[in-house]
Structure 1
């Protein structure tokens, strides 16, 4: 669906990337991102791709976003992977808003989330070299906190995603 046809809703992106810890084999990291604030809402690692893991990640991300801002309806963006086009995932998207299949190359597409993955891999995974799923999960928690509360983002005027979310929350409280 082209961006011009997207309804006015809060955009949340979800995708999975593969990481291969030496003692584990393939591990899939589902990442959920709020486009407006750049908050990393969920970073969850699983031993396989599945619609249930994608759904778990999305629900965790939406619950996290609801802690900071009040949102009624969402535009969920993902690629066309089978985990995102599955009936359970699509049904949940319909409950909370709409779903749009996006590409990295599309304006307003998945480029923001792909940049998050690059940061995850270069700033955490490649530097700390987690050996298994347990170590990767611990590293994801550190990444999540660092990315949201310490890393300054040029796209946010050199503020952190948490600062932007808190400013938005204050605006909602004062309205």
Structure 2
């Protein structure tokens, strides 16, 4: 710096700085290092005005994520901290804390193809149980070194699970029994549709005939358009991150027991972003519908007694 050269030669500071166009503050400034901007807060305030340290907040987040089947990202964690813990905290801070603690996860998403003779890309139900979607997902059983098949019937309106089966193989007869179980436990609206891909079990004449007899409109998705079955695909993504990524099943019986717990947790408790961070049953309750999602039975096969399935 030119000013330093003259100052070192003995010229007074008050004469050199004006000639060089420098103020005293500029001459004496030394960068402190570190990140620019406002320093990150070290505490979080509760709605009651109590301050909690970031370490406390991280402990609560760690506890939440350790719960069985909880696979929340920072937005759902923020909602939980506000609603259940009473903290005044924004998503940016939760994201920063979770990133620093390596609590953020990357969800595995799967692409499936299918076909359909459907009229519209996405169904627009106005009533519960009016539009259903179903599909089959592979569940790997580590102890047996083979895949089991999970088929789930999902209500599009509430995103709730109406019924499911987890078996080594699934036949058209088992799918019919699953649909009989759904129809036995729920009173359906006058007009009902079920959307599937072109799997052989769904295309089977016996299965299609049964749906026709029950006055259920059976829709197939177009080839290579999984977005037409996006609600069941989204559910499968949740299954992948909340169950499959956390468990290595030694037997089919162990997998069935785990999925029995998961399905009821999903219906009754799991926060769903598309439902305003409510569970499917909480969503139905907020809409004041009398019919709620039932507690799903354990993995043992149930015998369904005949019932009049005439739609409402």
| Structure with the higher strand share, 1 or 2 | 1
> In the TM superposition, what is the alpha-carbon distance from 1:60 to its structure 2 partner?
2.7
Which residue in the other structure is 1:137 paired with? 256
Tell me if 1:50 matches 2:168.
no
Could you list the runs of 5+ residues in structure 2 that have no partner in the other structure? 1-117, 292-312
1:147 to 260, 266, 269: 266
Which residue in the other structure is 2:131 paired with? 11
Show the 5 A alignment for 1:75-114: 75-96=193-214, 97-103=216-222, 105=225, 109-114=228-233
1:71 to 189, 194, 201: 189
Q: Taking structure 1 as the reference length, what is the TM-score of the superposition?
A: 0.83
Structure 1 residues 117 and 7, CA, compared in 2 at 3 Å: closer, same or farther?
closer
Instruction: With a CA cutoff of 8 Å and minimum separation of 6, indicate the structure with the bigger relative contact order.
Output: 1
Q: Taking structure 2 as the reference length, what is the TM-score of the superposition?
A: 0.49
Q: How far, CA to CA, are the matches of 2:243 and 2:251 in structure 1?
A: 14
On the 8 A contact 2:226/2:233 being kept in 1, the answer is no
1:36 to 134, 141, 157: 157
Q: Between Structure 1 and Structure 2, whose CA radius of gyration is higher?
A: 2
| Structure with the higher helix share, 1 or 2 | 1
Aligned residues: 166
Q: How far, CA to CA, are the matches of 1:106 and 1:46 in structure 2?
A: 23
Q: How far, CA to CA, are the matches of 1:19 and 1:106 in structure 2?
A: 19
Q: Which ranges of 4 or more aligned residues in structure 1 deviate by more than 6 Å?
A: 6-9
Could you list the runs of 5+ residues in structure 1 that have no partner in the other structure? none
> In the TM superposition, what is the alpha-carbon distance from 1:71 to its structure 2 partner?
2.2
Which has the larger displacement, 83-92 or 161-170? 161-170
